[in-house]
């Protein structure tokens, strides 16, 4: 099955939900996009490199400050109004999706930002569980809104670290800074070349459409969660590898060091380390190729990245592998799973003339395999988080 997700600003939906639930108008509406990671998976918490881009699917939050300490949260996706006490925020007290805005409020308050209570209505077009960072889109919209309403003087780098703290210490997901960096710092027509050691960012032109290409997303419908055990286990393996090798982070290991590392590490930890080391190198190579040759030349690097995630980091799944293989068979220049793994989405860089064939090939392959029908849609690089009303 193919879907055409809405691309128009969803400010209207958030505004309507706000008015119906809370009455009157909000103080504003803020938008933050989901993201696709073009290449550079599980490198962020290893202080390495990544190349994501913000996409034209986003979360919108309509927010109004309150004079008391009450927090009221509503999503257009249902569930009714959640009420929380700003002074007693906890993971257990925040059900479902509300953990993300609650975690951001907690992190801001813990940082010393003078928050008041607030009413918030959320509308999002980022598919949940798809590996396109629907949770970080919510968090980045909320942190941008609450920081502005509180008059906090916070740079984008500060907002990145605050959303990471919300994820790590409140939500309980041991994530790095990739997703929020893309959502907060992205720009239309560009990928975000991110140095995860110092938060250095360079915007790299990535206009697939101008090159006659499409970035096709295949949402396998296999839901994943960063709070699950697989993600934490991979991070622990990386930290063990760095400790045994005597480096601050795997960023400091080169491919020339891998022969020695093989003799020092158990086989599983070695494969985890090899993925991170070679993935960092693939990110740097992709940036160089984009600068010199353009998007049409990066396909082999995407393919190599998927093989590394499948075989060394072991975070793929049969649905993701099939999506990648089917898209390639129909003319994709390169394809890989994207996101934390264990489900979610794959991306394929496809010539516009082959897009229909790629969609048909993936859909048919899933049907033959007896898998649930995937959702397929294209994305383009978009601007990062901002106020829209």
Residues labelled as active-site residues: 179
What is the Cα–Cα distance from 177 to 174, expressed in whole angstroms? 10
DSSP E strands: which ranges in the chain?
28-39, 49-65, 70-75, 82-85, 118-124, 190-195, 200-205, 213-219, 334-338, 345-351, 375-379, 386-387
Residue 158's DSSP bridge partners are none
Contact yes or no for 163/180 (Cβ under 8 A) = yes
Cα dist from 348 to 171, 231, 273, 318, 359, whole Å: 31, 23, 26, 16, 10
Q: How far apart are CA 11 and CA 165, in angstroms?
A: 27
Beta-bridged to residue 51, according to DSSP, are 39
Residues 6+ apart with CB under 8 A from 118: 63, 64, 65, 66, 71, 72, 105, 146, 149
DSSP 345-371: EEEEEEEGGGHHHHHHHHHHHHHHHTP
Q: Quick one: tokens of 215?
A: 């970035």
Instruction: State how far Cα 231 lies from the chain centre.
Output: 14
Is the CB of residue 141 less than 8 Å from the CB of residue 30? yes
Per DSSP, what are the bridge partners of residue 119? 64, 72
Which residue's structure tokens are 């809104």? 145
DSSP letter (8 states) at residue 166: I
Where do we find the tokens 């070695």? 270
**DSSP one-letter code for 372:** P
Tokens linked to 199? 């938060």
Q: How far apart are CA 184 and CA 188, in angstroms?
A: 12
């Amino acid at each position: 099955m193919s879907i055409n997700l809405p691309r128009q600003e969803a400010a209207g939906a958030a505004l309507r939900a706000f008015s119906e639930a809370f009455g009157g108008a909000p103080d504003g509406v803020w938008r933050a996009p989901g993201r696709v990671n073009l290449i550079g998976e599980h490198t962020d918490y290893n202080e390495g490199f990544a190349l994501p881009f913000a996409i034209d699917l986003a979360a919108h939050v309509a927010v109004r400050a309150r004079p008391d300490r009450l927090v009221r949260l509503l999503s257009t996706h249902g569930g009714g109004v959640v009420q929380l006490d700003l002074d007693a925020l906890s993971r257990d007290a925040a059900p479902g999706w509300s953990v993300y805005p609650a975690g951001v409020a907690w992190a801001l308050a813990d940082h010393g930002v003078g928050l008041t209570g607030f009413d918030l209505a959320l509308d999002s077009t980022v598919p949940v569980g798809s590996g396109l960072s629907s949770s970080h889109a919510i968090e980045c919209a909320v942190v941008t809104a609450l920081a502005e309403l509180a008059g906090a003087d916070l740079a984008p780098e500060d907002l990145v670290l605050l959303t990471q703290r919300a994820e790590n210490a409140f939500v309980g997901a041991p994530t790095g800074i990739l997703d929020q960096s893309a959502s907060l710092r992205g720009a239309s027509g560009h990928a975000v070349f991110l140095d995860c050691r110092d938060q250095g960012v360079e915007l790299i032109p990535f206009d697939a459409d101008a090159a006659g290409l499409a970035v096709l997303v295949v949402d396998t419908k296999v839901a994943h969660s960063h709070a699950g055990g697989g993600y934490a286990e991979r991070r622990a393996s990386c930290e063990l590898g760095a400790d045994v090798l005597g480096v601050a982070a795997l960023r400091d290991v080169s491919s020339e060091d891998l022969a020695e590392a093989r003799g020092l590490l158990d086989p599983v930890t070695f494969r985890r380390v090899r993925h991170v080391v070679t993935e960092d190198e693939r990110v740097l190579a992709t940036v160089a190729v984009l600068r010199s040759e353009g998007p049409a030349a990066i396909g082999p690097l995407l393919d190599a990245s998927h093989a590394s995630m499948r075989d060394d980091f072991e975070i793929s799944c049969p649905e993701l592998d099939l999506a990648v293989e089917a898209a390639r068979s129909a003319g994709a220049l390169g394809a890989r799973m994207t996101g934390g793994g264990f489900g979610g989405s794959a991306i394929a860089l496809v010539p516009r003339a082959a897009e229909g064939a790629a969609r048909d090939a993936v859909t048919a392959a899933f049907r033959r395999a007896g898998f649930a029908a995937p959702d397929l849609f294209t994305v383009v690089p978009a601007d990062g988080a901002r106020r829209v009303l």
